[in-house]
Amino acid sequence: SYSFCTLLYSYKVEAMLTDRKRQQLHDDMLQYFEIVGFDEVADTFKRTMQSVPVKQSVTTPALERKYANILRQAKLLSAAEEMNKQLTQQIEELQDPSTVKRTVAKDLLPSRLLHTLEGHGSKKEITSLCFHPAQPLCFSSAEDGKIKVWDYESGEGTGTLLGHEGAVKCISVDNAGERLASSSDDTDIRVFDISSETCIRRLQGHEHTVYHVEWVRPDCHLLVSASRDGEARLWDVANSCVTKIFRSPEGGWMRCARAITNKIFVAEDKIIRSWDISGGNEKLIGYHDHVIEKLAVANEGATEIIRNSIFATPDENGRSGSPENGGKYPEGHFLASAGRDKMIFIWNTSNCSKVMTLGGHKDWVRDIVFHPTGKYLISGSDDGTVIIWSLIDSRKLRSITVQDTSFVSAISYHPAGRYFLTGSSDNQITIHKCE
């Protein structure tokens, strides 16, 4: 420790820094030594650096955040190494046909409860959940107007994002894991810098509750929003301005909006509509018998499975519609919708046909998400259950009772399929390990 301090002065650090900056450097170094338990080094440091008095250490929020970030990066590195092992094993299995059964058997589904969290206001409904794409963090929003940051491995809260003056209805994290967008009862959309926990953009223009906001992927330069004012909007985040407004021809409430490539899909009361982002051409996709709560666009894996499921179904002549029988796979996207009629439908958006019906919940279906592999659709309901649906054969694979006395109001799946979140109407968040 003595030689280390001498080395600093051999480079004439004292000549390069002002007294104030040198004092701050000494304070930060001393605090670090004490935090990591280097007591002897800290004592030697105090005795050696006499040219500028060193104040007694007082832990600062800034230093705590820096140290916490170091721990998060270490966890991230460990998670990356584990993911690399899993991917290597999957590649080996795909190269060896004899291991196909083992590969299928290793699908990651919710298996055991890790943590139950309560951090929002008493009995406040959890409205939205999402994961950080790389770090072991997840986020929750609720009717108390707060956005909480959690370490999903330890189950501990690590921060709070503040700014909204009403219930936060929806949150979304960009692909880089740097920004979080949120929408609220206060009609605002806010964009937060996750690392500093500060609001960096405030987007205004909606005239009523903004039920939904989401990054337009993959570049995440734009946001799409849906509001009770009967409008869906595309926002240029960098310039804090609206680039496109899509208005309901009937003035209905818009509760969810999804944008992909050149399309935007919107849930308006009982109806699903789509618009071309470039041309604005409106099309009716389908409808429910009650209000639609949520939409989800099928990922690549789900798209392939749904296509195969459609064409495996024989027609009246007993022939399937597969390409080898002269059929043609449909172009466009598949869209799942969940409603208060207790039903889940999957739609072929190219020809506006209903291709799959999933029924089994006993109350409103509040949220849906496609499994990262695309093999399953997961739904959460006011009946207190989460159902895992097999898309391969359109059946209920498993039902999990999450809440005995409250509703399942929000769900989210880890991008790599390793964790699963549920939120309830009475302030509880559950974190499940997927195995």
DSSP secondary structure of 250-263? T-PPEEEEEEETTE
46's enclosing H/E stretch is helix 39-48
Q: Which two tokens stand for residue 148?
A: 């909480």
How many C-beta neighbours within 10 Å does residue 289 have?
10
Q: What are the pLDDT digits (tens) for 116-153?
A: 998 887 778 999 999 999 999 999 999 999 999 999 99
- Please provide residue 283's backbone torsions phi and psi, each rounded to the nearest 5 degrees: -145, 140
Q: What is the pLDDT of residue 132?
A: 96
In this prediction, residue 293 carries a pLDDT of 98
| From 325-334, 358-367, 396-405, the region with the lowest mean pLDDT | 325-334
C-alpha to C-alpha distance for 138 and 323, rounded to whole angstroms: 42
| pLDDT tens digits, one per residue of 247-258 | 988 889 999 999
Give dist(CA 206, CA 223) in Å, integer.
14
What's the predicted TM-score (pTM) here? 0.75
Which pLDDT tens digit goes with each residue over 2-24? 455 444 444 444 455 566 667 77
From 40, 35, 39, 45, select the one nearest 5 (Cα to Cα).
45
Residue with the larger pLDDT of the pair 375 and 316: 375
Residue with tokens 């280097």: 38
Mean per-residue pLDDT for 388-396? Answer: 95
260-269: pLDDT as tens digits: 878 999 999 9
Q: Is the pLDDT of residue 94 over 80?
A: no
Residue with tokens 């105090």: 46
Least confident of 81-95, 179-193, 322-336, 354-368: 81-95
Other CB atoms closer than 10 Å to residue 382's CB: what's the count?
A: 20
Q: Residue 187 has what pLDDT?
A: 96
Q: Which of 88, 74, 84 is nearest to 153 (CA)?
A: 74
Q: In what order do the strands lie in the sheet with 210-215?
A: 210-215, 222-227, 231-236, 241-247
pLDDT at 6: 47
